[in-house]
């Protein structure tokens, strides 16, 4: 597991990466468990665990996670 921080709605949000496609996001009002899946064209879609619907919230958090992961890789 690795730790990272994202910015969401102008707040720093701690995120724990459990596996390649599983993340725990500690929002101020609740903790959500996100799963990322790729479609057949290679685009990522972010779902709250137990759901098959990507929402605007999960999508924006997912993009922030992707950005943070890319920035972390660039520093190595």
Number of domains in the chain: 1
Q: Which residues contact 43 (CB under 8 A, 6 or more apart)?
A: none
Question: Taking CA 63 as the corner, what is the angle to CA 45 and CA 50, rounded to the nearest 5 degrees?
Answer: 40
CA-based nearest residue to 34, from 19, 49, 53, 17 = 49
7 located within any domain = yes
76 located within any domain = no
Distance CA 39, CA 45 (A): 7
**Domain housing 36:** 2-71
Distance CA 57, CA 38 (A): 18
20 located within any domain = yes
pLDDT in tens, the chain (76 residues): 799 999 999 999 999 999 999 999 999 999 999 999 999 999 999 999 999 899 999 999 999 999 999 988 775 4
53 located within any domain = yes
This prediction's pTM: 0.90
62 located within any domain = yes
19 located within any domain = yes
């Amino acid at each position: 597991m690795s730790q990272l921080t994202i910015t969401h709605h102008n707040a720093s949000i701690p995120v724990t990466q459990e596996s390649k496609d599983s993340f725990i996001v500690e929002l101020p009002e609740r903790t959500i468990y996100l799963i990322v899946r790729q479609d057949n064209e290679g685009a990522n879609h972010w779902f709250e665990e137990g759901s098959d619907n990507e929402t605007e919230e999960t999508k924006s958090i997912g993009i922030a996670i992707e950005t943070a992961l890319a920035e972390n890789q660039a520093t190595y």
